Chains A and B, each alone.
Chain A
Amino acid sequence: MISEKWMQISNNNISSVYLLYGIEAYFIEETLKRIKRQLSDQGELEVITFDMEESKVDEVMYEADTIPFFSDKKLVIAKNAFFLKATEKGKEKIAHDTLSLEEWLKSPSPSAITVFIAPYEKLDERKKITKAMKQAANVIESASLQVHDLKGWILHELSSHGKTMSDGAIDCLIELGGTDLVHLQTELTKIATYVGEEPEIDVDTIKKLLVRTLEQDVFTLGNAYLSGNKSVAIEIYHDLLKRKEDPLKLNALIATQVRLMVQVSHLKKKGYHAQQIANQLKVHPYRVKLLIDHPMLHNEQKLLQTLNDLATVDLQLKTLNINRDRILEMFLLK
Chain B
Amino acid sequence: MSYQAFYRAYRPQSFAEMSGQTHIKQTLQNALLYNKTTHAYLFSGPRGTGKTSAAKIFAKALNCENGPAKEPCNTCETCKSITEGSNTDVIEFDAASNSRVEEMRDIIEKVRFAPSNAKYKVYIIDEVHMLSTSAFNALLKTLEEPPAHAVFILATTEPHKIPLTIISRCQRFDFKRITSSDIVSRMEEVLTDAKIEYDEDVLKIIAQSAAGGMRDALSMLDQVVSFSADKMTIEDALLVTGSIGQEVFFQLADALIDKDIAKALACIEKLIEDGKDPVRLTEDFITFYRDLLVLLVAPEQTELLEIATGDSMFLELASKFQVDTLYKGISILTNTQQEMRFSNHAKVYLETAIIRLAHVPKEGTVSSESNSELETKVRVLETQLQQLQQQLSQGMTLQATTGTQDQPKRQRQKSSGGVKVSSGRISEILKTATKTDIQVIKSQWASILQQLQKSHAALLNDAEPVAASSNAFVLKFKYDIHCQMAMENKTFSTSFPQLIANLTGTMYEVLYVPEENWLKIREDFIKQNGLKQSTPETEGNSSEPNDSMELLQAMEQVSEDPLIVEAEKLFGKEFVEVQDN
| Contact call B23/A208, Cβ cutoff below 8 A | yes
Q: Can you identify 21 A-B contacts, CB atoms within 8 angstroms?
A: A183-B168, A186-B168, A187-B172, A190-B27, A193-B34, A196-B26, A196-B34, A208-B23, A209-B23, A211-B44, A231-B301, A234-B304, A235-B304, A243-B158, A244-B158, A244-B160, A322-B286, A322-B337, A322-B338, A330-B327, A334-B327
What CA separation (Å) do A182 and B170 show in the bound complex? 10
| Contact call B294/A211, Cβ cutoff below 8 A | no
What CA separation (Å) do A326 and B337 show in the bound complex? 13
CB neighbors of A among B173-187 (8 A): 173-174, 177
Question: For the complex, is B563 an interface residue (Cβ under 8 Å from A)?
Answer: no
| Contact call A193/B30, Cβ cutoff below 8 A | yes
Question: For the complex, is A318 an interface residue (Cβ under 8 Å from B)?
Answer: no
Question: For the complex, is A212 an interface residue (Cβ under 8 Å from B)?
Answer: yes
B123 to chain A, nearest CB (A): 19
What CA separation (Å) do A330 and B293 show in the bound complex? 9
Please indicate the chain B residues that have their CB under 8 angstroms from the CB of A212 in the complex. Answer: 174
Q: Using A194-B27, A243-B160, A323-B286 as known contacts, say yes or no to A186 and B172 having CB atoms under 8 A apart.
A: yes
Please indicate the chain B residues that have their CB under 8 angstroms from the CB of A195 in the complex. Answer: 30
Please indicate the chain A residues that have their CB under 8 angstroms from the CB of B30 in the complex. Answer: 193-196
Question: For the complex, is A298 an interface residue (Cβ under 8 Å from B)?
Answer: no
Q: Which of B33, B334, B338 has the most CB of A within 10 A?
A: B334
CB neighbors of A among B5-24 (8 A): 23
Please indicate the chain A residues that have their CB under 8 angstroms from the CB of B168 in the complex. Answer: 25, 180, 182-183, 186
Contacts A186-B168, A214-B160 known; list 7 others, CB within 8 Å: A25-B168, A196-B30, A211-B44, A231-B298, A231-B300, A243-B160, A245-B160
CB neighbors of A among B375-399 (8 A): none
Chain A interface helix/strand/loop/mixed: helix
Q: Which residues of A contact B (CB under 8 A)?
A: 25, 180, 182-183, 186-187, 189-190, 193-196, 208-209, 211-212, 214, 230-231, 234-235, 238-239, 242-245, 320-323, 326, 329-330, 333-334
| Contact call A194/B23, Cβ cutoff below 8 A | yes
B211 to chain A, nearest CB (A): 8
Kindly count the residue-residue contacts between A and B in the assembled complex, taking CB atoms under 8 Å apart. 91
Q: Using A186-B171, A211-B173, A234-B294 as known contacts, say yes or no to A193 and B31 having CB atoms under 8 A apart.
A: yes
Please indicate the chain A residues that have their CB under 8 angstroms from the CB of B294 in the complex. Answer: 234, 333
A225 to chain B, nearest CB (A): 12
Question: For the complex, is B319 an interface residue (Cβ under 8 Å from A)?
Answer: no
**Cβ contacts B86-119/A at 8 Å (1 or 0 each):** 0000000000000000000000000000000000
**Cβ contacts B292-318/A at 8 Å (1 or 0 each):** 011001111100100000000000000
Please indicate the chain A residues that have their CB under 8 angstroms from the CB of B157 in the complex. Answer: 243-244
Question: For the complex, is B290 an interface residue (Cβ under 8 Å from A)?
Answer: yes
Please indicate the chain B residues that have their CB under 8 angstroms from the CB of A239 in the complex. Answer: 177
What CA separation (Å) do A196 and B34 show in the bound complex? 8
| Contact call A322/B334, Cβ cutoff below 8 A | yes
What CA separation (Å) do A230 and B300 show in the bound complex? 11
| Contact call A326/B177, Cβ cutoff below 8 A | no
A176 to chain B, nearest CB (A): 12
| Contact call B304/A238, Cβ cutoff below 8 A | yes
Question: For the complex, is B474 an interface residue (Cβ under 8 Å from A)?
Answer: no
Please indicate the chain B residues that have their CB under 8 angstroms from the CB of A187 in the complex. Answer: 172
Question: For the complex, is B228 an interface residue (Cβ under 8 Å from A)?
Answer: no
| Contact call B293/A190, Cβ cutoff below 8 A | no
Q: Which of B34, B173, B293 contacts A333 (CB 8 A)?
A: B293
Q: Using A196-B34, A330-B330 as known contacts, say yes or no to A234 and B298 having CB atoms under 8 A apart.
A: yes
CB neighbors of A among B27-69 (8 A): 27, 30-31, 33-34, 36, 38, 44, 46
| Contact call A190/B171, Cβ cutoff below 8 A | yes
What CA separation (Å) do A97 and B172 show in the bound complex? 41
Please indicate the chain A residues that have their CB under 8 angstroms from the CB of B490 in the complex. Answer: none
**Cβ contacts B330-369/A at 8 Å (1 or 0 each):** 1000100110010000000000000000000000000000
